Amino acid sequence: MNTPGESKLWHKQSFKDHVSAYLYLLPFFLIFGIFTLFPVFWSAYISFFSWDVLGTKKYIGFQNYIWLFTDDPKFWKSVLNTFSIWLMSTIPNLFLALVLANILNQRFIKGKKLFRLGVIIPNITSLVAVAVIFGSFFGYNYGLINYFLSELGLDKYDWGASYWGAQFAVAVMVIWRWTGYNAVIYLAALQSIPADLYEAARIDGASRTQQFFKITIPMIRPMIIFTVIMSTIGGMQLFVEPLIFSGPTGGPEGQTLTMVLYLYTEAFTNNNYGYASAIAWMLFLIILLFSMFNNFLTKKINSAQ
């Protein structure tokens, strides 16, 4: 409700002032409506049709969703792969980021600005370049890792054909790309902790390990929760790394076929746009449920403090 002062100011403004304000905002709402809202509602609409773009749309109701749940093992395999790669990449990624941030926050480190710049470089490197380089690392005949295995007298390992090997390779790409980014977030949180707390703990005889678990972790807990939520959402949308490493099918046995990669294959390879839209809405539902779980977990942690 407007206060008397605000109401008086509103009446003092001319009609042109009001119109010009809306005109300034109009480009944003137009672009947002065309490129965000319209595709969302359009995908929900065509998820009830069988449509290959060139032909006529045929209304089939909830049949696409029924097929997803009852007659599509490949979809459930993509769900399992997505969660598997997410687990293999997210936990080491966040742990390494916390360790890296803690090292960069130490007083004895020289050239901190250079190191801080260095850790963020993997995140701004082209994803295609990253996937191509890591693909050469994990190559069977000329890959760097197999070269070291041969030097140690071990057999070569076919990373691309193996189920866990291919997922491990994709997980390593994700870890390499996002560890520095999360480390910068943790570093900002670490630098906001008052030095007095550590000084008081040292006077009381607390070891560095005790300081880490009793002061550092509780003080940066909001940032840890934030990175977990963002990593969860990003992990559910994993696409470029498995596409470049294993192709649109996710490998010979679909080892790295994630949900978004399966959606892409159905839409742009098989031209099943209605079915791909149903997959997109299922992906939205899964991310929503995960976000609700994270929110529930956050409230539980905060209430336990």
CA dist 273 and 276 (Å) reads 5
CA dist 167 and 261 (Å) reads 14
One digit per residue, the tens of pLDDT, for the chain of length 305 reads: 555 555 666 666 677 777 888 888 899 999 999 988 999 999 999 999 988 877 788 899 899 999 988 888 999 999 999 999 999 998 899 999 988 888 888 877 777 778 877 888 888 887 778 777 887 788 887 788 888 888 888 888 888 888 888 899 889 989 988 898 999 999 889 888 888 888 888 888 888 888 888 888 888 888 888 888 888 888 888 888 888 888 888 888 888 899 999 999 999 888 899 999 999 999 999 888 887 887 787 677 666 55
CA dist 284 and 53 (Å) reads 23
Cα 168 from chain centre: 17
CA dist 188 and 167 (Å) reads 32
Name the nearest CA neighbour of 239 among 19, 81, 92, 111: 81
Whether 243 and 227 have beta carbons less than 8 Å apart is answered as no
262-264-270-273 Cα dihedral, nearest 10 degrees: 110
Residue ranges of domains in the chain, CATH in brackets: 15-47 (no CATH), 67-303 (1.10.3720.10)
pLDDT of residue 159: 83
pLDDT of residue 301: 66
